[in-house]
Amino acid sequence: MTHPFRAALLAACSIAAAFGLGGPALAAYPDKPIKVVVGFPAGGPLDQHARLLADKLQAVLGQPLIIDYKPGAGGSVGADAVAKSPADGYTLMLANTGVAVINGALYSKLPYNTQRDFVPIARTAMQPLALLVTPKLPVQNLKQFVDYARARPGQVNYGSAGNGGISHLVPEMFKTATGIFMVHIPYRGSAPAFTDLMAGQVQFMAESIPQAASYHKQGKVRALAVTSRERNPALPDIPTVIESGVKGFEVVGFYGFFAPKDTPREVVAKLGDAFRQVLTSPEVRERMVSQGADPAYLGSEDFARFLAAETPRWDKAVKASGARMD
């Protein structure tokens, strides 16, 4: 190659890079605001999580993250919108367990497939639950409850925030693990379910830690166990389900960020590293715990492996419950 030709080629490459003609991987990312789609109304737990991380990510990435609410069909409306967005790193999805791994079994005509239509960026949190009973029940620990329910098949009811959600499926998994039979009573949200649990209209419930811990400490409900592998700081005296004798029972929800498939690997890596940095902040970790989400970072590849393992577990739970949403 002659020297003049080589010089001209280098100049052309410089011009292409300057104008972004070398593709997304060569462009300066990010150079404009990033949109984070939340498939639920403002004010809920997912929104709180998005806002907490968005504030801190702006300092790391140098661009604001704008929360865009697209509620509907258990988060499916928002997920479908993100799946059809340009794969340039400027439209992301914050998903919970339902959106990422439950909806595929719950909806027969789901417009997206998590593992086909998205690339995982980072898992940011895990959500353990507490197993609760009404104080009116004559049990003090989980073993006593299992014995009580086993002696009364079909006479013990459990409440949930609605069909197909995590508060419905975790008790179904618990039923399978212990061989007990309880009757599901779905409510429109956790608040009315808690009201009936406190009154003894339902006897059992699985619910997120902050609310469960608050009611437990007030004596309005009785926490018997937590569903994580380790005890929870908000309920330090409450054993895990595994400690209570149910071998291998660890079931927790999670939050994670996704981008449309074919998003450049360099962009995914940069976003993943930004999440990793933010999640090391003691302030962020403390606030997340207060919101009921334990910091639990996984990068893109590890998050993908986690999803591949979790999806069949939740598929099985949905099928066992008989829940359908269409």
Kindly report whether the peptide bond that precedes residue 30 is cis, defined as omega within 30 degrees of 0. yes
Distance CA 258, CA 272 (A): 10
Q: pLDDT digit string (tens) for 208-239? A: 888 899 999 999 999 999 999 999 988 999 99
Distance CA 91, CA 81 (A): 9
Q: pLDDT digit string (tens) for 137-185? A: 999 999 999 999 999 999 999 999 999 999 999 999 999 999 999 999 9
DSSP secondary structure letter of residue 240: B
pLDDT category at 16 given cuts 50, 70, 90 is very low
Instruction: For 23-85, give the DSSP string.
Output: -TTTS-S-SS-EEEEESS-TTSHHHHHHHHHHHHHHHHHSS-EEEEE---GGGHHHHHHHHTS
Predicted pLDDT at 172: 96
What's the rounded mean pLDDT across residues 53-62?
A: 95
Q: What percent of the chain has pLDDT over 90?
A: 85
**Token code pair at residue 44:** 């809920």
- 307 phi and psi, to 5 degrees? -65, -40
Residue 6 has pLDDT above 80, yes or no: no
pLDDT category at 194 given cuts 50, 70, 90 is very high
Mean residue pLDDT of the chain comes to: 91
CB 137 within 8 A of CB 205: no
pTM of the predicted structure, to 2 decimals: 0.86
| Strand order from edge to edge, sheet including 157-160 | 183-186, 157-160, 204-208, 129-133, 222-226
CB 240 within 8 A of CB 130: no
**Token code pair at residue 213:** 């811990």
**Token code pair at residue 5:** 């030709």
Residue 39 falls in which region: left (phi positive, over 0), alpha (psi -120 to 50) or beta: alpha
Q: What percent of the chain has pLDDT over 70?
A: 92
Predicted pLDDT at 129: 95
pLDDT category at 20 given cuts 50, 70, 90 is very low
pLDDT category at 292 given cuts 50, 70, 90 is confident
Residue 2 has pLDDT above 90, yes or no: no
CB 169 within 8 A of CB 314: yes
Residue 59 has pLDDT above 60, yes or no: yes
Predicted pLDDT at 290: 84
pLDDT category at 306 given cuts 50, 70, 90 is very high
Predicted pLDDT at 318: 95
Residue 26 falls in which region: left (phi positive, over 0), alpha (psi -120 to 50) or beta: alpha
What's the rounded mean pLDDT across residues 88-107?
A: 97
Q: How far, in whole angstroms, is CA 243 from its chain's centroid? A: 24
Residue 32 has pLDDT above 80, yes or no: yes
Residue type, 82: V
Predicted pLDDT at 14: 43
Distance CA 94, CA 136 (A): 39
Distance CA 6, CA 238 (A): 71
Q: Taking the CA of residue 102 as centre, how many other CA atoms within 13 Å lie in the half-sphere pointing to its CB?
A: 28
Strands 204-208 and 157-160: parallel
What's the rounded mean pLDDT across residues 253-282?
A: 98
Predicted pLDDT at 19: 37
- The number of beta carbons lying within 10 Å of the beta carbon of residue 263 is 24
pLDDT category at 27 given cuts 50, 70, 90 is low
Predicted pLDDT at 18: 39
pLDDT category at 12 given cuts 50, 70, 90 is very low
